[in-house]
Structures are given as C-alpha cells and as structure tokens.
Amino acid sequence: MLSALMLMYLLQIPTVTMLSIQLSRHDEYAELCGFSRRTPDRTTFSKFITRAEPKTVEGVFKELRRQALKMGLYGNGKVDAAVDSTFIHAYSRRKRKAGVSDRGARVGKVERTTYALGWRIHTIATRRGFH
Amino acid sequence: MENPHHSNQERFPLAYIVRSANVNDKVPAPKLPKYAINHLKKAKTAIETLIADAQYYWEDFFNLLEELKIKPVIPAPPQIKQPRIRLKVKHGFIVEGDPELVKLYHKRMMVEHVFKPGKKRLNLDNLRWRGAAKVRMHVALCYSVILAVAITAHKIGRPELAHSIKAFQ
C-alpha cells in the first residue's frame, strides 16, 4: 500500500481515485506494488490514509534516510547544511461561509506580497560533492 | 526541460518539520540542526556550516549554533547596525561581506534544489489531504521518493541520475 502511494507521487498521479484506476489498468504497476490479483479500490486507499498514523509513513522516509546515510549520500566527514522553508497550499479555500475545511492550515506568506491558506515545510538539507 | 546531467553535487532532505503557514521560521528552526546532528552522528558525519537566509538571523539561534560547534552563515537583515558576521544581502540579492562567507552563502541553493523537484515533479504543492497528520504524510512520501530515486540511481551505477526524477518517471 505504501509503495502504491509512493508510485502515486513518482508518476504525479493527483488523487487516490486516479491511482486506483491506474493500478487496475496497468498490470506492471500493480505487480510493482505487490498486488497479485485484485488491486485496491479508492476507498481502501482513503481508509488506509485515514487510519495510518504519520509515524508509519514517516518510517519509510526514516528507513530510506538510514540507507542513504549508510551509502554516504549525505556526505562524509564535515558537510555543509542549509535551512529554509517553503509554502504549500492547503486543500481548502479561504472566505467560505462554512469556514475553512482544513482547520489546521493558516494564512501565511506565499511570496513577498501574496498570502494564502496553507502549510510551511521547514527543511534542513546537506550536500556532498562527487566528481 | 530538466537536464539529468547538470548536477555534480548531491543534496538531499535530512529532516523536516511541518507547521501551519503563520508559524514564524524562528519557532521550528532550532530543532532542525539538532535533528540533523543526531542523524548524521550515526554516519560519523558532522555539520561544519549552517547556511540560511536573513530571517534566521537572531541572537539565540547564533548562540545555539555556537553551542553545537556549527559555523553560521546567515546574513544580517538591513536594520542590524553591528552584525555578528560580515555578511549582508542587498536589494537585488547582491551578497556583500567576507569573501569566504559570500562563497559559502551561495551554497544556500542546495535546500532550494530539494524543494524544486518536489514542487515541479512530485506534486509537493498539490495537496489533496487535509489536517496536520496527513500533510506530514504527504511531505514524508514526497521526500521518500526523492531519496528512493537517489538510492536507486546509485544502486544501478548511474549516480548522475540521483537528482533526475524525470528519468524514473
């Protein structure tokens, strides 16, 4: 199920409904994600996303980061790191009569003079050189 | 069009924090170097310099970086008369100050190069889920794909494709 969700991001499939359709149409995608006979319905993906805790999905990132560290992709010895944040738009609209549907999102700066409802991802990245 | 061979430097997300858009950068910023140090310690790696833009310029952050033995490369905002380090960014992104610091400051783009493929190639800015927990999952999946692509590129013996998501799409 997690590999199917990763495939959804890699192939830029916008929704789980589309993902479910793609999996049923393309046997190679289904096989790649470990589905042998029937592919999951969109509701199964929705239930999985609702029931799964962030820790489960973040565990995939942690495992891949562990592997990348082991392979030395983050560099060896002393490295440079950079910190920054980026804005992502919430799946919700401002100024609706019923209020916003994403209650955790807040209005923040997108660019210098633009404001929108959304989230901010604060990231630290390191780099290594290879020649 | 993305050129898969343009990169001779590898940069990957090491840690992240998701907050509402109205939360100031100063709130989650001190946690990030601490997380990074903990993860890098396992690989016997340490952070030498931390590069950030002017919004991360404040005394407590500098003191924290000193404590962690990290050299800060953070330009002072224009209103600061006596900056802690000789580095300033003028109008039009002109960087002035100590030449060594200026050179280091230009490496700040490494984190922007993490956001760019995420937004351009992995639907990072096309959120279809609601709530903090699901947004965390969304970011984790995006960054996982970035790392999975890099690991695969190295395993198949094509390290130059480590940043080319398009090559695997």
Mean pLDDT of chain B: 86
Q: What is the pLDDT of residue B165?
A: 84
As a whole number of angstroms, the distance between CA B112 and CA B100 comes to 21
In whole angstroms, give the CA distance from residue A66 to residue B108.
Answer: 24
Q: What is the mean pLDDT of residues B79-96?
A: 83
- Residues in B closer than 8 angstroms to A128, CB to CB, are 9-10
Residue in the structure block whose two tokens are 């992240």: B16
pLDDT at site A98: 64
- Evaluate if residue B76 carries a pLDDT over 60: yes
To test the contact with chain A by mutation, choose from B91, B119, B130 the residue with the greatest count of A C-beta atoms within 10 A, namely B130
- Probe site for chain B from A26, A80, A102, A131 (most B CB atoms < 10 A): A80
Ranges of residues in chain A with a pLDDT under 50 are: 130-131
pLDDT for the residue numbered B137: 92
Q: Is the pLDDT of residue B151 over 90?
A: yes
Encode chain A in three state secondary structure.
CHHHHHHHHHCCCCCHHHHHHHHHHCHHHHHHCCCCCCCCCHHHHHHHHHHCCHHHHHHHHHHHHHHHHHCCCCCCEEEEEEEEEEEEECCCCCCCCCCCCCCCCEEEECCCCCEEEEEEEEEEEEEEECC
Query: A-contacting residues of B 19-48, CB under 8 Å?
Result: 19-23, 25, 28-29, 32-33, 35-36, 39-40, 42-48
Instruction: Report the range of poorest mean pLDDT among A28-42, A116-130, B24-38, B121-135.
Output: A116-130
* B14/A124 CB distance under 8 A: yes
% of chain B surpassing 90 pLDDT: 30
pTM, 2 dp: 0.89
% chain B with pLDDT above 70: 95
The contacts of residue B42 (CB under 8 Å, 6+ apart) are A66, A69
- Counts of helices then strands in chain B (DSSP H, E): 5, 5
The tokens describing B55, both together, are 């919004």
What's the CA gap between A126 and B33, in Å, rounded? 11
Cα three-residue angle B45-B141-B51, rounded to 5 degrees: 40
- pLDDT band with cut points at 50, 70 and 90 for residue B3: very low
For residue A17, what pLDDT is reported? 92
Q: Looking at chain A, which residue has its C-alpha nearest residue B121?
A: A12
From the list A49, A127, A130, the residue facing B110 with the nearest CB is: A127
